[in-house]
Amino acid sequence: MSFKDGFMLTQDLHYELPNDLIAQSPADKRDKSRLLLFERSTQSISHHYFNEFPKLLPSNLSIFRNDVSVLKARIFGKRPSGGQVECLLLSPDSPAENTWRCLLKPGGKTAKSGTFRLENEYSATVLKSLPSGEYLIRFELFKDQDPASLAQRIGSLPLPPYVRRPANQEDENRYQTVYADRTKCSAVAAPTAGLHFTPEILDALKKNGHSMYDLTLSVGLGTFRPVETERIEDHPMHGEKYFLPLETKTILRNPEIKKMAIGTTCVRAIEHYLGTQDTNPTQSTEAEADLFIRPPYHFRGVDHLLTNFHLPGSTLMCLVGSFLTQDESSGITLLKRIYQEAIEKNYRFFSFGDAMLII
C-alpha cells in the first residue's frame, strides 16, 4: 500500500484487466457462472461453479439479500430543435410535482433548450443544472401517474457503462434477481451478486438450514463512480436509500447469529444501520446509507460475503478489501492478489461476470 501523510492513496485501487474479461452478457444459466472461494482462516483460494454454492457455506447462516428491482430508467425524447435526448431517471426529488434528478445526453444542449418531450407521452422542463452533473427535471405526463410508471412502460434498462451494447429483451429478465420485488422498482443498477441465484439454489439453502431475510437498497449510479481524489479518505461518498423490515432488523441485532450478505449493497445497508442508534426498534427503518467502508474497518453485522469482481479504482474495492483483513490496511493488497489469480484463470468481471465468496 502507498501512503501520503498517513493516508492511503487511490492509485492502489487500480489493477490491469484485459478488455475481453469484462463480461458483456450473463452466463448461459445463472448458476453456471464461476465462483472463487476465499477462506480467510487459511488464506486459501479454490475454484468452483455457482451451483456448488450451497455446499460451500458454513452451517446455519442468516442470509441477507437486496430485493430491489431495476427501473427501466432510460427514456428518450426530442428537444424543440428536433435533436435527440436520452434521459436517465435517477431518483425522485419532489414526487408530488413529478420532479426527478436525472442525467441527460446531451446535457448542455438540452439544458440550454430548457425542454424536451416525446409526442403523446410526456413533456419535460429542465429546472436546474446541479453541481454533480445531474439535472432537476419536472415532467408533465399524458398517460401515466408518475415518471417511474412512464419509464416502466416505454423505457429501457440502464445497463452499466462498460457493457458496450444496448439492452435487449433477455436483459429484462437476467438483469434482475429472481427474488426481486417488482413493486420495489427503485434501482438504476442491479445488486449483481444476486444475479447468480436460481429458485433451486434458494430452495437448497433453506433445506440446508439457512434462513433468508430481505432488505431493500436503491442502488444508484454512485456505485460506478471511481475514486478521483489522490487520497482515498477524501472521496465524497454517495448515499443510497434503504429499507429494513422489522424481522430483518431483529436478526441483525442478534450477535449470536452468523450472518452472510449477498452483495455489497446489503453490506452498506447493514453496516450503516448497525452503526446508528435505532430510535424505533419495534418498527421498520428507512434511512440513507452514506457510509464509506475502507480499511481498517470492523464489520458489525456481516460474517461472510458473496460479491462480484469490481471496477478498478472503485469504493467497492475498498469495502471488499476491508472484509478480507478486518482492522488491517493490507486488505486491498490481498484483494488485488486474488483478482490477479482470477484474471489468470479467465474469470469474467463486473456486473454480468462471475462471483467471489469470502468465508
Question: Residue 317 belongs to a domain with what CATH number?
Answer: 3.40.1780.10
Last residue of a domain, one of 125, 154, 183: 154
Domain shared by 133 and 260, yes or no: no
What is the total count of domains within the chain? 2
The three three-digit cell numbers of residue 68, written as one number: 430491489
Domain shared by 185 and 301, yes or no: yes
How far, in Å, CA of 77 to CA of 122, rounded? 9
φ, ψ (nearest 5 deg) of residue 336: -65, -30
* Residue 159 covered by a domain: no
* Residue 164 covered by a domain: no
The three three-digit cell numbers of residue 100, written as one number: 426527478
Domain shared by 129 and 198, yes or no: no
Domain shared by 190 and 322, yes or no: yes
Domain shared by 210 and 61, yes or no: yes
Domain shared by 234 and 345, yes or no: yes
Domain shared by 37 and 144, yes or no: no
Domain shared by 44 and 85, yes or no: no
Residue 28: domain span: 3-70+172-358
Last residue of a domain, one of 154, 185, 200: 154
Domain shared by 261 and 133, yes or no: no
| Other beta carbons less than 10 A from residue 284's beta carbon | 13
Asked, as a colleague might, if the bond just before 158 is cis with ω within 30 of 0, I would say: no
* Residue 127 covered by a domain: yes
How far, in Å, CA of 124 to CA of 127, rounded? 9
The list of the chain residues with pLDDT below 50 reads none
* Residue 291 covered by a domain: yes
Q: The whole model's pTM is what?
A: 0.93
CATH number of the CATH domain containing 103: 2.40.10.240
pLDDT of residue 148: 95
* Residue 257 covered by a domain: yes
* Residue 96 covered by a domain: yes
Q: Alpha helices of the chain — where are they, by DSSP H?
A: 53-56, 107-113, 147-154, 171-174, 199-207, 246-252, 264-274, 315-324, 331-344
Domain shared by 63 and 86, yes or no: no
| Nearest in space to 97 (alpha carbons), one of 135, 146, 144 | 146
Structural contact between residues 345 and 230, judged by C-beta atoms closer than 8 angstroms: no
pLDDT of residue 236: 81
How far, in Å, CA of 119 to CA of 355, rounded? 43
E-strand ranges in the chain read 3-4, 7-8, 34-39, 44-49, 62-66, 69-70, 74-78, 84-94, 99-105, 115-118, 122-129, 135-141, 185-187, 211-217, 240-244, 259-262, 285-289, 304-308, 355-358
The three three-digit cell numbers of residue 235, written as one number: 472521496
Domain shared by 234 and 343, yes or no: yes
How far, in Å, CA of 74 to CA of 158, rounded? 6
How far, in Å, CA of 124 to CA of 254, rounded? 48
The three three-digit cell numbers of residue 99, written as one number: 420532479
Q: Would strands 185-187 and 69-70 be described as parallel, antiparallel, or unpaired?
A: parallel
Amino acid at residue number 77: G
| Nearest in space to 189 (alpha carbons), one of 308, 19, 271, 319 | 308
- The DSSP symbol for 358 reads E
Domain shared by 316 and 176, yes or no: yes
Give CA angle at 352 (135, 37), nearest 5°. 125
Is 226 strand, coil or helix? strand
* Residue 194 covered by a domain: yes
* Residue 162 covered by a domain: no
Amino acid at residue number 17: L
Last residue of a domain, one of 124, 154, 184: 154
| Other beta carbons less than 10 A from residue 108's beta carbon | 9
- The DSSP symbol for 22 reads B
Is 103 strand, coil or helix? strand
